[in-house]
């Protein structure tokens, strides 16, 4: 009969040695694990968006897509709608107009549990390509009033994908901001001609070019602020609208107030007390961008 003391000591030593060994293995592999994870995530994001850089807003769930000059070009988010065999991991990219730039459904190896040969066909190109350029209202299956063809014999999985994407777009669009009508920032113009896609327009009246309208962004307090500005040929601001801002409600969020935005048309406004960082960022960015686009003004 072994004494209780001997049992306790042996168990203790074995447990101690095991945990020491494991902590070494962990410290050696954990940076590598984190690295592989982020590489995989980035590769996945690039599949659904043409953006150069992605800024994480909600960890592992929501990213803002930035183009090569650092401006917001859309967002990318992940949703996990319940399919037939389990949650389906979907990555969705949407542009500033709320249109889908691409979707990616995880393969079976990455945790998609739909039935092989049936529901798993949701990962095939024919199905995925349908989503490109669609808006939230067009995403449901045709039989549900949308524009997506379901996969034969895989309606549950197809519908889950559509529902997940639609819910995701509705949930995260606020991070994108609905793009305001260009007339709001340039009331005198009758027509707008795009110079740089989704970014810069000529403001026209009948035949004359009156000025330009552009969308740009600034680094605010919590996130980037996206705004739209109209400038006439004399370099005078005709209007400023906030496209997207996630500044602190009640503080930085004051930059959305009409009173403040209207001051841009009478020369540059003062920073808002209590929202200095956000308002200064906006004022500076507007100033810089007008200089940047000077060459487009006659």
Partner 1 sequence: MRRWHIFTRGLVKENAVLILMIGLCPALAVSGTVRDAFGMGLAATFVLFFSNVIIALIRKSVPNEVRIPIFILIISTFVTMIDYFMQAFQPDLYRALGVFVPLIVVNCMILGRAEAFASKNSVINAALDGLGVGIGFTLALTIMGSIREILGNGTFLGTTVFGEAFRKTPVIFMILSPGAFLVIGILKALINKYVKKE
Which residues contact partner 1 (rule: CB under 8 A)?
Answer: 2, 6-7, 10-11, 14-15, 18, 21-22, 25-26, 29-30, 32-33, 36-37, 40, 108-111, 115-118
Question: What is the rounded distance in angstroms from the CA atom of residue 227 to the CA atom of residue 229?
Answer: 7
Is the Cβ of residue 14 or residue 268 nearer to partner 1 in the bound state?
14
Query: Shortest Cβ distance from residue 234 to partner 1 (Å)?
Result: 58
If phi > 0 it is left, if psi is from -120 to 50 it is alpha, else beta; for residue 204 that is: beta
User: What would the two tokens of residue 117 be?
Assistant: 């040969």
Is the Cβ of residue 127 or residue 264 nearer to partner 1 in the bound state?
127
Please give the DSSP secondary-structure letter assigned to residue 267: B
Is the Cβ of residue 36 or residue 82 nearer to partner 1 in the bound state?
36
Is the Cβ of residue 44 or residue 70 nearer to partner 1 in the bound state?
44
Which residue's structure tokens are 């995925």? Answer: 128
Is the Cβ of residue 36 or residue 69 nearer to partner 1 in the bound state?
36
The answer to whether residues 136 and 166 touch, using CB atoms and an 8 Å cutoff, is yes
Query: Shortest Cβ distance from residue 87 to partner 1 (Å)?
Result: 13
Question: What is the rounded distance in angstroms from the CA atom of residue 108 to the CA atom of residue 244?
Answer: 36
Evaluated on CA atoms 254, 256, 262, 266, the torsion sign reads positive
Query: In angstroms, how far is CA 197 from the centroid of its own chain?
Result: 18
Burial, 276: exposed, middle or buried (Cβ in 10 Å; 0-12, 13-18, 19+)?
Answer: middle
User: What would the two tokens of residue 236 be?
Assistant: 């005078």
E strands, 30-147, are: 53-58, 62-66, 72-79, 90-95, 100-105
Question: What is the rounded distance in angstroms from the CA atom of residue 240 to the CA atom of residue 233?
Answer: 16
Query: Shortest Cβ distance from residue 106 to partner 1 (Å)?
Result: 9
Is the Cβ of residue 30 or residue 288 nearer to partner 1 in the bound state?
30
Q: How many CB atoms lie within 10 A of CB 15?
A: 10
Query: Shortest Cβ distance from residue 119 to partner 1 (Å)?
Result: 11
Is the Cβ of residue 28 or residue 234 nearer to partner 1 in the bound state?
28
Query: Shortest Cβ distance from residue 61 to partner 1 (Å)?
Result: 18
């Amino acid at each position: 009969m072994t004494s209780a003391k001997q049992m306790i000591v042996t168990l203790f030593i074995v447990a101690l040695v095991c945990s020491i060994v494991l902590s070494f293995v962990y410290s050696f592999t954990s940076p590598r694990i984190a690295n592989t994870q982020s590489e995989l995530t980035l590769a996945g994001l690039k599949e659904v968006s043409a953006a150069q850089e992605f800024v994480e807003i909600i960890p592992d769930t929501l990213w803002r897509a930035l183009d090569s000059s650092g401006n917001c070009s859309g967002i990318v988010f992940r949703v996990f709608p319940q399919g037939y065999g389990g949650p389906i991991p979907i990555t969705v990219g949407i542009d500033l107009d709320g249109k889908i730039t691409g979707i990616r459904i995880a393969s079976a190896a990455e945790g998609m549990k739909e039935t092989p040969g049936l529901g798993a066909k949701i990962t095939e190109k024919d199905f995925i390509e349908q989503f490109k350029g669609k808006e939230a209202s067009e995403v449901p299956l045709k039989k549900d009033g949308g524009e997506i063809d379901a996969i034969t014999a895989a309606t549950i999985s197809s519908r889950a994908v559509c529902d997940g994407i639609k819910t995701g777009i509705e949930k995260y669009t606020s991070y994108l901001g609905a793009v305001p009508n260009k007339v709001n920032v340039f009331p005198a113009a009758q027509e707008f001609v795009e110079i740089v896609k989704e970014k810069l327009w000529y403001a026209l009246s009948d035949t004359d070019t009156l000025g330009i309208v552009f969308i740009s962004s600034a680094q605010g307090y919590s996130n980037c602020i996206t705004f739209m500005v109209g400038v006439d040929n004399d370099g005078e601001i005709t209007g400023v609208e906030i496209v997207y801002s996630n500044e602190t409600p009640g503080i930085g969020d004051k930059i959305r107030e009409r009173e403040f935005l209207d001051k841009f048309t009478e020369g540059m406004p003062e920073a808002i007390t209590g929202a200095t960082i956000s308002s200064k960022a906006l004022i500076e960015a507007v100033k810089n961008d007008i200089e940047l686009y000077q060459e487009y003004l006659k």
